[in-house]
Homo-oligomer: A and B are copies of this chain.
């Protein structure tokens, strides 16, 4: 029987709301057993970018990371947000350690290949150092990752936090029974995006294809679910999507994904 590990991803909307973030970190701190937190960015990066006179550059809804933007997200994600989350978790008796993919070479990535579009310093993940990550867990440390990786040649890279969560989950599936929990502003994958209560409670591979065909799942939800199914295919035991109250209990509706 493999030991359990829970991997929780929290998005920018949670980071943006101090009270909500504190509640979520409380729930996370009191989760029993080995666990890992992955956090997104939030509006602070945009605020700092504005102060620095940067114009956000988007192509097809994705941010282009030029050198100055990378500087900003490195400051905000790896500095301000990550270390404040770590300090808050420490105050809740949770022995957090803040990490980027460069630290201990934990997430090896490469700069996204330029085909039609140059996304700049955006990283695509090659490999997770799951042995070292497992050693941290054995030391009873709680890794807290921000969305920065590196290319092993000195270059930091801005990397999607959902993908980091899925890749870490997949890499740990050899050593651990992994539960991957995506928390965001909705109650789960919704049938109708305007009805908070229209949660689709289970989605398997076949249903996913149908929902995609029917355009019930679209836009930002698509890459999120692609990440989830990739993780399940690589041996992750369980993937849940819902609002952050699912960290603490499962009394409310949420979406469970299965193969």
Contacts and interface: CB of A to CB of B under 8 A. Distances in A.
Contacts of A90: 102, 105, 150, 152, 154
A155 interface: yes
A34 interface: no
Contact of A156 (B77, B83, B100, B150): B83
A154 B100 contact: no
A102 B82 CA distance: 10
Contacts of A132: 139, 141
Contacts of A185: none
Contact of A102 (B51, B74, B98, B152): B98
A98 B91 contact: no
Contacts of A80: 71, 74-75, 78-79
Majority SS of interface residues in chain A?
A: helix
B78 A83 contact: yes
- The size bracket of the interface on A is 35 or more
B98 A100 contact: yes
Given A154-B90, A155-B87, A95 B104 contact: yes
A175 interface: no
A45 to B, nearest CB: 10
Nearest to A53: B51
B95 A105 contact: yes
B102 A86 contact: yes
Interface string A67-99: 000010011111110111011101100011111
Contacts of A98: 78, 100, 102-103
A167 to B, nearest CB: 18
A230 interface: no
Contact of A148 (B48, B71, B83, B102): B83
Given A90-B102, A98-B103, 12 more contacts: A74-B80, A78-B79, A78-B80, A78-B98, A79-B83, A83-B102, A83-B156, A84-B156, A87-B102, A90-B150, A95-B104, A135-B139
